[in-house]
Amino acid sequence: MRFGKNMLRTSNPALKNQTAWRDGVAEGGTGTASIQGAVNKTAMLTAVALAGGMGSIVLMKNPNFSQYAWILGIGGFIATLVVYFMILRNPMRAKSMAWVYAAIQGAFLGVLTKALDSTLASMEIAVPGGLALQAFAITMSVLVAMLTLYYFRILKPTKMFVNVVSVLTLGIFITYMVSFAMSFFGAEMPFLNLGSAIKGGTAGWIGVGINVLILGVASLWLIIDFGMIEQQIQSGAPKQMEWFCGFILMVTLVWIYLEALKLCFRLAVLLNNRD
């Protein structure tokens, strides 16, 4: 996930390749990156992700597509990993490849959102606006909140801050990997699996608490991302690197949306069954 030897300088893995930032000018970039440019690129990639998500939701209505959705989802997951590490290896590729990452991740999240919506529908649970709208609203709210906290320097990506968030992220990553391995043997990680919400009871609410914690950790990565992007822009990074800035923010926003989506699902099930 997001780890490196010098976390103060390389907190986001997509920012590890410092040489690529310096060499960007020599590869054809003109001018230097700006905050506004990075914001614009992030907005464009977000729009692509939204289009991918809406497209996959529409396709999920086709029975011929939906029965192969999870196979395609696995393929998409592998594809995003390939694209992700290709961009990490050479951030200059972000201009041409970040679109692919955004589209595939959007499609994956769209399929997952539709699947969870269908699960709620089968349980006769109605969610105002649907899970997608609620999760998106949470994601945007988190983005605005973190940007505000960073702008007023209420939260700053200090060395201690980065180290704590990195350790928490490593713990989450290991937990997810253990849960994934357990699934091959028909076992579930207590509280982490969405099934705990369906079963209800104390376990379901503990799952909500864990979900909120993970969402919080994911949100804190925005502070680190903002700091690293600002640092690189102040150092005169080439304008082409605005795409890279958009990419690293997209990585974090995807994680936040995923956790927000799961949280909305858990709460919808638990609040419906509380009586």
Residue 247: pLDDT above 90?
Answer: yes
Mean pLDDT of all residues in 55-68: 78
User: What is the pLDDT, as a whole number, of residue 29?
Assistant: 52
Strand partners, 30: none
Q: How many residues does the chain have?
A: 275
User: What is the pLDDT, as a whole number, of residue 5?
Assistant: 32
DSSP 29: -
Task: Identify whether 88 is part of a domain.
Answer: yes
* 84-101 pLDDT, tens digit each: 999 989 998 999 999 999
Residue 10: pLDDT above 60?
Answer: no
In total, how many domains does the chain have? 1
- The confidence band for 71, taking pLDDT boundaries of 50, 70 and 90, is confident
- The confidence band for 27, taking pLDDT boundaries of 50, 70 and 90, is low
* 139-196 pLDDT, tens digit each: 999 999 999 999 999 999 999 999 999 999 999 999 988 988 888 888 888 788 888 8
User: What is the pLDDT, as a whole number, of residue 1?
Assistant: 47
Mean pLDDT of all residues in 257-273: 95
Task: Quote the mean pLDDT of the chain.
Answer: 86
Task: Identify whether 6 is part of a domain.
Answer: no
* 191: number of Cβ within 10 Å: 17
Task: Identify whether 8 is part of a domain.
Answer: no
Task: Identify whether 268 is part of a domain.
Answer: yes
- Whole-number Cα distances in Å, 225 to 68, 201, 237, 261: 36, 37, 15, 22
The answer to whether residues 196 and 203 touch, using CB atoms and an 8 Å cutoff, is yes
Task: Identify whether 4 is part of a domain.
Answer: no
| Of the candidates 86, 139, 67, the residue with the CA atom closest to the CA atom of residue 109 | 139
Residue 32: pLDDT above 80?
Answer: yes
HEC letters along 184-241: CCCCCCCCCCCHHHHHCHHHHHHHHHHHHHHHHHHHHHHHHHHHHHHHHHHCCCEHHH
Mean pLDDT of all residues in 11-15: 46
Task: Identify whether 22 is part of a domain.
Answer: no
Mean pLDDT of all residues in 2-21: 43
| Of the candidates 117, 109, 53, the residue with the CA atom closest to the CA atom of residue 254 | 109
∠ Cα 223 227 228 (to 5°)? 120
The answer to whether residues 218 and 252 touch, using CB atoms and an 8 Å cutoff, is yes
Residue 3: pLDDT above 50?
Answer: no
Task: Identify whether 13 is part of a domain.
Answer: no
Q: Tell me the C-alpha distance between 71 and 20, whole Å.
A: 35
User: What is the pLDDT, as a whole number, of residue 11?
Assistant: 40
Share of the chain above pLDDT 90, in %: 58
Mean pLDDT of all residues in 100-108: 94
Mean pLDDT of all residues in 249-273: 95
Mean pLDDT of all residues in 64-71: 71
User: What is the pLDDT, as a whole number, of residue 266?
Assistant: 96
∠ Cα 178 182 187 (to 5°)? 135
User: What is the pLDDT, as a whole number, of residue 30?
Assistant: 62
pTM: 0.87
Which range of residues forms the domain containing residue 193? 31-272
Task: Identify whether 9 is part of a domain.
Answer: no
